[in-house]
Amino acid sequence: MAETGIRKDKVNMSGKRKEKASVLSQREIAPDIYDMWIATDMATEAKAGQFIGVYTNNPANLLPRPISICEVDRERKALRLVYRIAGKGTAEFAGWQPGQEVLLLGVLGNGFPINEGKGKKAVLMGGGIGIPPMLQLARELSEAGSDVTVITGYRDSRLFLKEDLEKYGKVYVATEDGSVGTKGNVLTVMEKEQIDADVIMACGPMPMLRAIKAYAREKQIAAYISLEERMACGVGACLGCVCKTTHKDAHSHVNNARICTDGPVFDARAVSYTHLRAHET
Ligand code: FES
């Protein structure tokens, strides 16, 4: 593996750990969606909703790519990452074979508040590449005694992770083209199936998160949303991932939060509509 000066540090300025790890397995589970298990000690501390930075082997790319954690196997000390090819970095990851040595930064982010869903009716909503973090979340909530329902939103019939999610609760599918499940989005399913929720936890594209924020406010349901955002440093130093919040930060006295360190999971009430609209794709 090509090494750069920056990669030799065990711990960077943020206190986050860099660790050499190795690929255990890798397969394509849907077009351009890859499922990779990595052996790493980070599995002992990782939890649902957190992410790790994965470095490419190209020395020109000093910054890691943020990838959310799909599943944690503490016994085997392994993390499962399910990611979409979205550029050169992730295209390189997709070519890695078992035994490949990789460099990780982590564990990053705050994760979902499991205590807020403990013993309650928890409805998990994942859209597109926001579905993978729902797997570890479904597992942790079901272990916490929650009644777990998962609503997944896909573009078309090329589903992924559905059987894995079914281990932890009832799974509903929405597709944009109506080829499988309900035609529409995750909230179409919520209304059509008249699903009750004490708490909603979600990850997906901005329009979906914006709609969930509005839905939760109208129905007075607690909601926690994980913001997908372009990130650079991943450790709070570059301010490249700032989002607009409804409350002022106690230290800086501005309506900002860093998604990589204050998030990526936020109480939906704390994220301003301005941010969710401005970052619509
Ligand atoms: Fe640099 Fe969040 S990515 S501050």
Q: What is the pLDDT of residues 87-122, one digit of tens each?
A: 999 999 999 999 999 999 999 999 999 999 999 999
**Using a 6 Å CB cutoff, which residues line ligand 1?**
231-234, 236-241, 258, 260
Q: How many helices (H) and strands (E) does the chain have?
A: 6, 15
pTM above threshold 0.95: no
Q: What is the pLDDT of residues 29-55, one digit of tens each?
A: 999 999 999 999 999 999 999 999 999
Q: Name the band, by pLDDT with cuts 50, 70 and 90, for residue 239.
A: confident
Q: CB atoms < 10 A from the CB of 1, how many?
A: 11
Contact 14, 237 (CB under 8 A): yes
More confident residue, 235 or 143: 143
Classify the phi-psi angles of 15: left when phi > 0, otherwise alpha if psi is within -120 to 50, otherwise beta.
Answer: left
Determine the distance separating the centroid of ligand 1 and the alpha carbon of 259, expressed in angstroms.
7
Contact 135, 73 (CB under 8 A): no
Nearest to 186 by CA among 142, 148, 141, 130: 130
Out of 233, 256, 266, give the residue to mutate to test ligand 1, the one with the largest number of ligand atoms within 8 Å of its CB: 233
Q: Name the band, by pLDDT with cuts 50, 70 and 90, for residue 149.
A: very high
Determine the distance separating the centroid of ligand 1 and the alpha carbon of 105, expressed in angstroms.
13
Q: Name the band, by pLDDT with cuts 50, 70 and 90, for residue 278.
A: low
Q: Which two tokens stand for residue 209?
A: 């998160």
Determine the distance separating the centroid of ligand 1 and the alpha carbon of 241, expressed in angstroms.
5
Give the N- to C-terminal CA distance of the chain in Å, as an integer. 35
Chain position carrying tokens 């205590």: 115
Q: For residue 134, is pLDDT > 80?
A: yes
Q: For residue 14, is pLDDT > 80?
A: no
pLDDT given for residue 235 in this prediction:
87
More confident residue, 2 or 156: 156
Determine the distance separating the centroid of ligand 1 and the alpha carbon of 132, expressed in angstroms.
22
